[in-house]
Amino acid sequence: MSIKPLHINDYDYELPDERIAKFPLEERDHSNLLVWRGGNISHRKFFNLPEELPEGALLVFNNTRVFRARLIMHKPSGARLEVFCLEPHAPADYENAFSVKGESQWRCLVGGLKKWKEGPLEINFEMGGRECRLEAYRGEQVGKSHIITFRWDADATFGEIIEHLGRIPIPPYLNRESQEIDNTRYQTVYSRIEGSVAAPTAGLHFTPRLIEALHNSGITTEEVTLHVGAGTFLPVKEEDATRHTMHTEHFVIELSTLRRLASMVGTGRIISVGTTSTRTIESLSALGWRVLQSGSPEAERAVGQWEIYDIPGEVGGRELLEALVGWMEREGTYSLSAATQIMITPRYQFRIIDGLVTNFHQPKSTLLLLISAIVGEEWREIYRYAMEHDFRFLSYGDSSLLMRVES
C-alpha cells in the first residue's frame, strides 16, 4: 500500500524529568486514573476502574512475565561487561530456551563490547551447595546485537541460572540501577509466562483485590501472551514516522480467547489492558485475512508493519476472527503462536478493541501514535490535563482509560 508521510514532530510534548515516576506507588491500585470518553475527561483513582468500564466489559490482559535479562559478566582480566538477553536463538522458543540445561544461545546486546576481543566472559557462583561457572561466547552479529552461546556446569536450567544471576531490566529512562522493589513491582500480579525484557506496564496497577472487584461487577477477563522486546523503548528518529522500522514481538493466544473476542466484536465492550495487548489483538485481523485469502494464517510469517492497513474496510473484525477460529477448529489446534511487527498510527481503523487501559507515554514514540489512533488530536488535551493535574508519567506512572465509543 502507499503510505503517506507522518510527521513525528506533531506528536511531541514537553516531559520534564521530574514528572517521570522513578519508583512505584506504595499501593498499586491507588494510582491516578484519567478517563476519556467521547471527549470528556474525568479524574479518578485506579481502584474506581470497575465503575468506569462498560457493563459486561471484557478486559484482555497480557500475562507475560519479565525475566532477569541483564547479566553482569567479567573477562578473565576482571573487566566488567553487561550481557542483555533479548530473545532465544537456539532453542528458538521461550519455553524450551528456559528449560534447557548446559547450553543455550540467545540474541543479546553487549555493553562494553569493545573490551571483548576474544575468549569467554564468565561468572563464578555458588548454587546447590557447590561452586559453578557460567561462560558466554560471542557469535555472529545481528544488527546491533550478537548471538551469544551460554554454557554452564550447574545442574540447572537456563531459566534457573538467569533467575539466580540476572537482574530485572528496568526502563533506561528511570536513570537508576534496578533495586529489590523492582523484582516484584516491575511485574504484573497476573504475570505467568516468562519472556519479556520490559513489563506491560498498564497492568502494573492491578491488584488481586481489584481483579476480584471487577469479576464481582460482571467484568470478565481473558489473557494473551506477548513477550515485550527492548524495541518498545526505541525512539522514532525519522522525521517521517512511517520510515521507522518496528520491532518484531512474539505472541500466543488460545482458541477459547479467540472465540470470546469474536463473540463480542462490535459490542463496545472489548477493553485491552496495555498497548501490547492491543497490538496482539489487532494483529489477529491480519491472520484472519490471510485465512480468508489463502486458507491459512501462515503464522510462521510475522504480521508485517503495514499489513493490517491492506485489509478492505468493509471486512469486519468479527468475520476476520471467525475465519481464524474456523481454521484452528479444522486443524484441531487450541493455541496459536505468531509474531507481529504492526505499527498502529492515527490512520488505523480499529477492528476489534473498543477501549484501552494505558499509562502516559514518551514524546515522539510509536506508543503515542497508537494513543492518537484511539483519541485523535485530543491526545494533546489528555496529556495537557495529566500534566496540569500532577499525573505521573511512563512505566511506574499513572494510568488512563480511553474509550473509542460511548458506553
> Is 378:13 a contact under the CB 8 Å cutoff?
no
The C-alpha atoms of residue 350 and residue 237 are separated, in whole angstroms, by 26
The C-alpha atoms of residue 6 and residue 241 are separated, in whole angstroms, by 5
Record the pTM: 0.94
The C-alpha atoms of residue 65 and residue 195 are separated, in whole angstroms, by 6
**What does the angle CA 121 – CA 178 – CA 66 come to, to the nearest 5 degrees?**
80
Give the CATH number, domain containing residue 202.
3.40.1780.10
- Respond yes or no on whether the N-terminal peptide bond of residue 24 is cis (omega within 30° of 0): no
The C-alpha atoms of residue 13 and residue 29 are separated, in whole angstroms, by 27
Q: What is the number of structural domains in the chain?
A: 2
Q: Are residue 157 and residue 45 in the same domain, yes or no?
A: no
Show pLDDT as tens, one digit a residue, over the chain (407 residues).
567 899 999 999 999 999 999 999 999 999 999 999 988 999 999 999 999 999 999 999 999 999 999 999 998 888 899 999 999 999 999 999 999 999 999 999 999 888 888 889 999 999 989 999 999 999 999 988 999 999 999 999 999 999 999 999 999 899 999 999 999 999 999 999 999 999 999 999 999 999 999 999 999 999 999 999 887 777 899 999 999 999 899 999 999 999 999 999 999 999 999 999 999 999 999 999 999 999 999 999 999 999 999 999 999 999 999 999 999 999 999 999 999 999 999 999 999 999 999 999 999 999 999 999 999 999 999 999 999 999 999 999 999 999 985 43
Q: Are residue 235 and residue 281 in the same domain, yes or no?
A: yes
Q: Are residue 234 and residue 381 in the same domain, yes or no?
A: yes
Q: Are residue 83 and residue 161 in the same domain, yes or no?
A: yes
**What does the angle CA 353 – CA 340 – CA 197 come to, to the nearest 5 degrees?**
100
DSSP H helices in 332-397 = 366-375, 379-388
- Helices 255-264 and 317-331, axial angle in degrees (round to 10): 150
Give the residue from 63, 24, 67 showing the smallest Cα distance to 167: 67
- Helices 317-331 and 275-294, axial angle in degrees (round to 10): 70
**Residue 104 φ/ψ, nearest 5 degrees:** -155, 145
Cell numbers placing 142: 545481528
- Asked whether residue 43 is assigned to any structural domain, the reply reads yes
